[in-house]
């Protein structure tokens, strides 16, 4: 397996050292002196790198259809109708609000001053629309993290303060909806809420959605930020949530997200990923995905992170099982941390295929 870890090291350093890949028939090929040529992803029915969808973690055709309508016609009404018909309970509404806000932020970055006209029109023409208010608040949060000067700059804090106000406004027309409070969790992280203030906000979230995986992930980010990388609070929070999780809840996977938040910046030895702490967190996440509902909207998030860890731990068959479920959409951790999520995902996919085949696997042996 040493050649595979040589390839991984080269891939992770490629952005600053040398190009690590070339295209052939649309699939990613890792190239290194003496390295075996990885199988074409198409042999497994995997999607070509340039066709991977970086907007969402898993398929949501209704969302994709409406996003197309909204962006082509710059008309917000289809987005409003979709959110009005999306139950406030569960994870889907939160994911759709994030997707609309992300699309608006991307439009504005590509067309400064004119992009995302549909979101401005939505707020002006229907100021009491709960969906529009929620998308606007989340849009401001995403803009804050893109602000000039970076995290902690004046622009960053000014936009987050505006987002905080927008969260309060978004909560008024939908008092039982957890989404405005989920958005404020990111504000709490960026503005550095004190623990009493955060606890008050977290209580509002739990009153509305006690098992919400997205809310717990946002709270985990707060604890990691609050303690400047200390694992103590984050680990305590994640393990307590996992212990309370009912059967079938993906909260059992939360400790794996806590491990990811505290990964060393560079870890080239797979022994770290085979350690007892990481193995327990992976096994908990595997238990979670195997017991969760197949239609759980957060399932793809957990599978994507599992894929990352399983490849690093050289658990090839289990990594391929995750690929079988998630390939096609890559808008999730850890890929979304990269400047090129599709390329980052494709590196791990190629490594999983190479490791699987080096241990006797083939397209014929992968369940469908």
Distance CA 229, CA 33 (A): 38
Q: With beta carbons less than 8 A apart as the criterion, state whether 164 and 189 touch.
A: no
Identify the sign of the CA torsion 42, 46, 48, 51: positive
Q: Are residues 328 and 307 in the same domain?
A: yes
Same domain for 80 and 179: yes
10 Å Cβ neighbour count for 272? 14
Same domain for 80 and 183: yes
Answer yes or no: are the C-beta atoms of 93 and 140 closer than 8 Å: no
Residues 63-78: b if buried by 16+ CB within 10 A, e if exposed: beebbeebbeeeebbb
Assign 53 to helix, strand or coil.
Answer: strand
Q: Distance (Å, rounded) from C-alpha 288 to C-alpha 245? A: 10
pLDDT tens, N- to C-terminus, the chain (368 residues): 545 454 454 444 443 333 333 322 233 334 333 344 455 777 899 999 999 998 889 999 999 999 999 999 999 999 999 999 999 888 999 999 999 999 999 899 899 888 899 999 999 999 999 999 999 999 999 999 887 666 778 888 999 999 999 999 999 998 889 999 999 999 999 998 998 999 999 999 999 999 999 999 999 988 887 655 456 788 889 999 999 989 999 999 999 999 998 887 556 566 889 999 899 999 999 999 999 999 999 999 999 999 999 999 999 999 999 999 999 999 999 998 898 999 999 999 999 999 999 999 899 888 87
Query: Domain holding 88: CATH number?
Result: 1.25.40
Same domain, yes or no: 365 and 237: yes
**Cα distances (Å, whole numbers) of residue 154 to 144, 148, 225, 300:** 10, 9, 18, 36
Residues 153 and 123 in one domain: yes
Closest CA to 179 of 145, 135, 240: 135
Identify whether residues 122 and 168 lie together within a single domain: yes
Same domain, 71 and 48: no
Q: Are 285 and 305 in contact (CB under 8 A)?
A: yes
Domain that holds residue 285: 38-54+214-368
Residue 148 placed within a domain: yes
Rounded Cα distance between 251 and 248, Å, is 9
268 shares its domain with 360 = yes
53 φ/ψ angles, rounded to the nearest 5 degrees: -90, 115
User: Domain boundary at 169, 184, 210, which?
Assistant: 210
Residue-level pLDDT at 262: 84
pLDDT at 360: 92
- List, as one string, the DSSP characters of 207-266: HH-TT-HHHHHHHHHHHHHHTTT-HHHHHHHHHHHHHHPPTT-GGGGHHHHHHHHT--S-
Residue 355 has which token pair?
Answer: 């490791």
Q: Answer yes or no: do 233 and 365 share one domain.
A: yes
Using CA atoms, how far apart are residues 42 and 333, in angstroms rounded to an integer? 24
The answer for residues whose C-beta is within 8 angstroms of residue 36's C-beta and 6 or more apart is 3, 354, 358
Q: For the chain, count helices (H), then strands (E).
A: 16, 2
Give pLDDT, residue 265: 59
Is 29 inside any structural domain?
Answer: no
Q: Nearest-CA neighbor of 208 among 180, 172, 237, 186?
A: 180
Tally of structural domains, the chain: 2
The residue behind tokens 């190009």 is 19
Rounded to an integer, what distance in angstroms lies between the CA atom of residue 317 and that of residue 303? 14
Q: Is 267 helix (H, G, I), strand (E, B) or coil?
A: coil
Domain assignment present for 21: no
| Residue with token string 């090839």 | 316
Residue 218 lies in a domain: yes
pLDDT for the residue numbered 24: 27
Same domain? 225 vs 197: no
pLDDT at 166: 96
Residues 147 and 227 grouped into a single domain: no
Residue ending a domain, among 180, 210, 240, is: 210
Look at residue 365 and tell me if it is in a domain: yes
Given 168, 190, 210, the domain boundary residue is 210
- Whether residue 293 is contained in a domain is answered as yes
Sign of CA dihedral 332, 335, 339, 342: negative
Tell me: do 141 and 221 sit in the same domain: no
> Facing residues of 53 across strands?
329
Phi, psi angle pair for 294, to nearest 5° = -60, -25
What pLDDT score was predicted for residue 267? 62
Name the residue among 122, 153, 125 with its Cα closest to residue 139. 122
CA distances from 40 to 20, 21, 110, 149, 305 (A): 16, 13, 33, 41, 23
């Amino acid at each position: 397996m040493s050649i595979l870890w040589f390839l991984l090291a080269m891939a992770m350093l490629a952005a600053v050292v040398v190009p690590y890949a070339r295209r052939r028939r649309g699939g990613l090929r890792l190239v290194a002196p003496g390295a075996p040529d990885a199988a074409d992803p198409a042999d497994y029915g995997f999607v070509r790198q340039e066709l991977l969808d970086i907007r969402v973690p898993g398929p949501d055709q209704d969302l994709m259809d409406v996003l197309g309508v909204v962006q082509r016609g710059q008309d917000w009404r289809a987005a409003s109708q979709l959110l009005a018909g999306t139950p406030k309970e569960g994870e889907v509404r939160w994911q759709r609000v994030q997707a609309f806000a992300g699309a608006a932020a991307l439009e504005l970055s590509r067309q400064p001053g004119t992009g995302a006209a549909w979101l401005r029109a939505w707020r002006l023409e229907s100021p009491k629309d709960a969906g529009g208010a929620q998308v606007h608040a989340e849009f401001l949060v995403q803009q804050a993290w893109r602000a000039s000067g970076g995290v902690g700059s004046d622009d960053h804090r000014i936009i987050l303060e505006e987002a905080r106000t927008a969260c309060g406004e978004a909560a008024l027309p939908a008092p039982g909806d957890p989404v405005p409070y989920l958005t404020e969790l990111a504000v709490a992280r960026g503005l550095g809420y004190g623990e009493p203030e955060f606890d008050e906000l977290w209580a509002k979230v739990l009153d509305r959605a006690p098992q919400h995986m997205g809310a717990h992930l946002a709270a985990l980010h707060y604890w990691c930020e609050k303690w400047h990388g200390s694992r103590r609070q984050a680990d305590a929070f994640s393990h307590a949530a996992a212990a309370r999780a009912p059967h079938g809840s993906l909260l059992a996977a939360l400790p794996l997200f806590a491990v990811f938040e505290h990964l060393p910046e560079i870890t080239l030895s797979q022994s770290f990923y085979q350690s007892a702490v990481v193995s327990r967190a992976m096994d908990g996440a595997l238990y979670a995905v195997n017991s969760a509902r197949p239609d759980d909207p957060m399932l793809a998030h957990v599978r994507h992170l599992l894929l990352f860890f399983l490849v690093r731990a050289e658990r090839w068959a289990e990594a391929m099982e995750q690929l079988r479920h998630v390939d096609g959409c890559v808008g999730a951790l850890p890929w979304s941390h990269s400047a090129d999520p599709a390329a980052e995902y494709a590196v791990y996919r190629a490594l999983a295929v190479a490791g699987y085949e080096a241990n006797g696997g083939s397209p014929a042996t992968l369940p469908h």
